């Protein structure tokens, strides 16, 4: 009898852990969005206000942010140093494509990255700054939506995990 109770508790616990893991995807996405927002802010400071060269801007940003976004900016700095691409947009898009598997982004988040890449080739610094500020506002709106969705998903997945574990335990025993 104690073996059955222990098995049922183990099943409920493992299914709750599975639900918890599914609910963490939104958290990772929020972390990546926060790093992107930070990177765009650093870009405004380095490239627009200070007028550093693009390769140096990418390298500086990669050192000051974390996670997959840091790897994207580092790879962009390496690609910019090699001068293998013809413009800044292509450099950044290539770095994003190389590292897209390590991101937790969805389609609308990737659009933000590609919008940032298009912003790199603007000829006027004021226009670059305005576009970057609009991009930050867009990222903030996406973050707000993701936070609300993550809160709902967390409750849903945790509850569903426990209920599925109870259901499995009842069916088995």
Cα–Cα separations (whole angstroms), residue 14 to 1, 7, 17, 30, 159: 20, 10, 5, 25, 13
Q: Closest Cα to residue 33, out of 55, 65, 6?
A: 65
- Is 143 within 8 Å of 40 (Cβ atoms)? no
pTM: 0.79
Name the packing angle between helices 125-172 and 2-43 (round to 10°).
180
Name the packing angle between helices 2-43 and 107-119 (round to 10°).
20
Instruction: Please list the pLDDT of the chain residue by residue as tens digits (173 residues).
Output: 788 888 888 888 888 888 888 878 788 888 888 998 999 888 888 877 777 778 888 888 989 998 888 999 899 888 888 877 788 888 888 888 888 888 888 888 888 888 888 888 777 888 888 888 888 999 999 999 989 988 888 888 888 888 888 888 888 77
Which SS3 state, helix, strand or coil, does residue 87 take?
Answer: coil
Report the pLDDT value the prediction gives residue 140, as an integer from 0 to 100: 92
């Amino acid at each position: 009898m104690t073996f059955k109770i222990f098995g049922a508790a183990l099943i409920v616990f493992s299914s709750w852990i599975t639900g918890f893991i599914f609910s963490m995807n939104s958290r990772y996405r929020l972390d990546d969005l926060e790093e992107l927002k930070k990177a765009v802010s650093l870009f405004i400071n380095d490239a627009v206000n200070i007028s550093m060269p693009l390769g140096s801007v990418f390298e500086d940003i990669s050192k000051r942010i974390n996670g997959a976004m840091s790897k994207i900016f580092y790879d962009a700095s390496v690609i910019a140093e090699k001068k293998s691409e013809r413009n800044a947009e292509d450099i950044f898009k290539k770095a994003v494509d190389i590292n897209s598997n390590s991101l937790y982004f969805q389609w609308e988040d990737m659009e933000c990255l590609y919008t940032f890449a298009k912003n790199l080739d603007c000829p006027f610094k004021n226009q670059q700054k305005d576009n970057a500020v609009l991009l930050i506002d867009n990222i903030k709106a996406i973050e707000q939506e993701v936070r609300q969705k993550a809160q709902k998903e967390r409750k849903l997945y945790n509850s569903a995990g426990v209920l599925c574990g109870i259901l499995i335990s009842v069916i088995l025993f």
